[in-house]
């Protein structure tokens, strides 16, 4: 997989003119529409260029291949998925966990069509699979640090392994959202999200009264 960072065949992003940045962004937006509509395997550079309203050659001024543009789209998506939203400092650990969960649910919904493609590509492309693992690791590490802090403060169960707990919760949430938002499994939204929240909070032994 070609990295989204530029090399000798593409113009470095930080040297692009405003017009060049606009064209590059248009190609990224067009590529996302093409991938979400027809999938990754059947997507062609010609389709992306046509969707963006530029020539075939113009695409290669900014990206090496469809794998290159897909890699950058994936990175941007994961950055959106894992972006931390500000929360009031007075929230209890349970409230902070629920707020983080709800922010992740909203991000997953925004990105569900593309998440479906990323999960598919990760099963057949080792480099994309590593990218998926890398970004999942960021989320797990952040959650594990929070669990460790709560354990130190005597607010979470001390008999749990922080990393394994974070991995288990991430797997539960991710797979549940995948089945619901991607596979179309029927569910009452508020009941489903509330159940996920309560299971995560309960598993850690956090006080749910606040």
Interval 114-126: pLDDT, tens: 999 998 899 999 9
Asked if residue 182 belongs to a domain, the reply is yes
Q: What's the pLDDT at 3? A: 45
Residues 98 and 135 in one domain: yes
| Domain containing residue 43: CATH number | 1.10.10.60
Asked if residue 210 belongs to a domain, the reply is no
Q: What's the pLDDT at 14? A: 60
User: Is 7's pLDDT higher than 60?
Assistant: no
User: Is 8's pLDDT higher than 50?
Assistant: no
Residues in the chain, total: 210
**Confidence class of residue 16 from pLDDT cuts 50, 70 and 90?**
confident
Residues 151 and 49 in one domain: no
User: Is 210's pLDDT higher than 80?
Assistant: no
Asked if residue 52 belongs to a domain, the reply is yes
| Total domains present in the chain | 2
Residues 23 and 60 in one domain: yes
Contact yes or no for 193/105 (Cβ under 8 A)? yes
Contact yes or no for 93/151 (Cβ under 8 A)? no
Give the model confidence (pLDDT) of 106-164 as tens digits.
999 999 999 999 988 999 999 889 988 988 898 899 999 999 999 999 999 999 999 99
Its pTM stands at: 0.81
Helix (H) or strand (E) holding 98: helix 93-124
Task: Supply the DSSP string of 24-88, one letter for each residue.
Answer: HHHHHHHHHHHHHHH-STT--HHHHHHHHTS-HHHHHHH-SSHHHHHHHHHHHHHHHHTPPPP--
Q: What's the pLDDT at 25? A: 95
Rounded CA gap, 11 and 59, in Å?
11
Q: What's the pLDDT at 4? A: 39
Give the model confidence (pLDDT) of 30-85 as tens digits.
999 999 999 999 999 999 999 999 999 999 999 999 999 999 999 999 888 888 77
Q: What's the pLDDT at 2? A: 41
Domain residues for 129? Answer: 82-204
């Amino acid at each position: 997989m070609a990295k989204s960072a530029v090399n000798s065949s593409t113009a470095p992003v930080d040297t692009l003119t405003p017009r060049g940045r606009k064209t590059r962004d248009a190609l990224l937006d067009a590529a996302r529409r093409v991938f979400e509509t027809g999938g990754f395997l059947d997507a062609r550079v010609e389709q992306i260029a046509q969707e963006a309203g530029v020539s075939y050659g113009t695409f290669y001024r900014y990206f090496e291949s469809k794998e290159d543009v897909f890699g950058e789209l994936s990175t941007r998506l994961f950055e959106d998925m894992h972006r931390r939203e500000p929360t009031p400092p007075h929230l209890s650990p349970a409230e902070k966990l629920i707020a983080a969960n709800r922010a992740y649910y909203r991000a997953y919904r925004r990105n569900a069509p593309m998440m479906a493609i990323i999960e598919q590509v990760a099963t057949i492309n080792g480099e994309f699979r590593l990218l998926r693992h890398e970004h999942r690791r960021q989320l797990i590490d952040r959650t594990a640090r929070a669990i460790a802090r709560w354990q130190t403060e005597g607010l979470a169960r001390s008999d749990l392994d922080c990393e394994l707990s974070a991995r288990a919760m991430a797997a539960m949430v991710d797979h549940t959202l995948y089945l619901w938002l991607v596979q179309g499994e029927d569910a009452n939204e508020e009941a489903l999200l509330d159940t996920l929240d309560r299971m995560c909070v309960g598993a850690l032994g956090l006080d749910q009264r606040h």
